[in-house]
Amino acid sequence: MPRRRKDDDGPSLFDWREERDEALAKVAANAEDTSPGFAEKARQFVLRFLAEHGPTAGEGVTDACKRAGIRPHDDRAFGAVYLKLSRDRLIEKVGQAIRRKGHGTSGGNVWALVEGGGRREVTE
């Protein structure tokens, strides 16, 4: 994807957000094409899982979701799930974790339900 330039001095400080959102939109659309209803099923699963287990690293929630049979074509589709829940103020980052899939690198998020947060429609 070509980098957008604010001017000749280099990329805008906000380009990364636009690029992230564009990439997440593409992977989310592909997930829906290959697994219709994936995003909603995954969102509901994440909310139920966090309600039952409390704060959990995203990789752990993602793995549990996949074990429950909610699988996208690409694990990166879960990024759009977490972002939507976070923007809706249903979950929030409460810590960092060492990434198991990232060979022990930092940057894994620990997610928790937002107490008294946005709407919480969890269906069975």
What distance in Å separates the CA atoms of residue 60 and residue 57, rounded to the nearest whole number?
A: 5
Whether the predicted pLDDT of 66 surpasses 90: yes
Residue-wise pLDDT tens digits, 9-27: 565 666 877 887 787 778 7
Tokens linked to 47: 């909310």
User: Which segment of 3-17, 54-68, 74-88, 108-122 scores lowest on mean pLDDT?
Assistant: 3-17
Q: Domain residues of the chain, as ranges?
A: 16-113
Whether the predicted pLDDT of 3 surpasses 80: no
Amino acid at 32: E
Tokens linked to 27: 């992977």
Average pLDDT, the chain: 83
Name the residue among 124, 47, 54 with its Cα closest to residue 86: 47
At 35 the pLDDT is: 81
User: Which segment of 5-19, 30-44, 75-89 scores lowest on mean pLDDT?
Assistant: 5-19
Whether the predicted pLDDT of 118 surpasses 80: no
Instruction: Let me know if domain 16-113 sits in CATH 1.10.10.10.
Output: yes
Alpha helix (H) residue ranges in the chain:
15-34, 38-53, 58-67, 77-87
Q: How far is CA 120 from CA 30, 64, 77, in A?
A: 26, 20, 21
49's CB contacts (< 8 A; 6+ apart) are: 56, 61, 64, 65
At 31 the pLDDT is: 74
15's CB contacts (< 8 A; 6+ apart) are: 3, 4, 6
Contact 24, 75 (CB under 8 A): no
Banded pLDDT at 76 (limits 50, 70, 90): confident
